[in-house]
Amino acid sequence: MARGGGVSRKAAAALVLAWMAAAALAPLLAPAPYAGQDLEHRLEGPSARAWLGTDDLGRDVLSRALYGARVSLAVTAAALAIALVAGTLLGAAAGYWGGLLDQALGRTVDVLLALPGILLAIAVVAYVGRGFSPLVLALSATAWVGYARVARALALSLRGRDFVTASRACGAGGVHVLRRHILPHALGILWVQAAAGAASVMLAEAGLSFLGLGIQPPHPSWGEMLATGCDCLLEAPHLALVPGALLFSAVWALNTLGESLSEGMDPGRRHRVDAV
């Protein structure tokens, strides 16, 4: 079990690094412009001319997959960063100071948790508009809640500790205590949660793009490519299989890394799961 898990972690890490490198080097690796059309060669399968085939407009699928990785990873990273910062600051402040701020955060979190995340994201995109920034805003608006809950719980558990009491006794203000004592102790756990939640954010991005609410054509994303492929599933199945396989590989890798980090923070977790 341990050896197999180690191999899976290494494979997942290698896969994530490979996708990050491919996304960063997409302009150099892409064999053709991602928006370049060639209607004479539309819906062709994989060949020496187009390694992963062409889509309904004759665009090179490999080029669009590379640029799609760029979009999907960038949206995921940006949404996670905003959600992590906003959720951590709000949750830590509410947990440390309590009072009306804590009550307001608690009510807001309860309302948002009662709503399906994808519906909230759709509502945000419908109100703000489509494109990169609205997509990031929609995803971060659904993801910050989890980080706020964890940060609040950690702040509640830490605010009565001796080192926090000593800092206050020396005249430190609340902001200083949060910055020097609460947040440093919370960031490790929150980083692990962010890594574990990256796959969910990527799937949500793909879902919104699949519905036409994400990055707009001609800019590619894996979700948009999957939607195009479903329209031509019988005639050109590679249009759905390629982005589907890429999305599966990225989500699997992110999930595996997140699980590994969670086990690292709680070494007994894997043994408890195995025992069950």
CA distance readout (Å), 80 to 143, 200, 231: 7, 10, 31
Give the pLDDT of residue 4.
52
Give the pLDDT of residue 5.
60
* CA atoms of 47 and 54, how far apart (whole Å): 9
Name beta bridge partners: 60.
54
Give the pLDDT of residue 197.
87
Give the pLDDT of residue 270.
47
* CA atoms of 81 and 75, how far apart (whole Å): 10
Give the pLDDT of residue 130.
86
Give the pLDDT of residue 271.
43
Give the pLDDT of residue 264.
67
Consecutive sets of 10 residues in the chain, 276 residues long: mean pLDDT of each? 65 90 93 89 87 90 93 93 93 89 90 86 88 91 92 87 80 80 84 86 92 87 91 88 93 88 61 40
Give the pLDDT of residue 187.
82
* CA atoms of 137 and 124, how far apart (whole Å): 8
- Chain position carrying tokens 């949404």: 79
Structural domains of the chain in order of their starting residue, each with its CATH number: 10-28+52-269 (1.10.3720.10)
Give the pLDDT of residue 235.
87
Q: Which residues of 92-112 are buried (b: 16+ CB within 10 A; e: fewer)?
A: bbbbbeeeeebeebeeebeeb
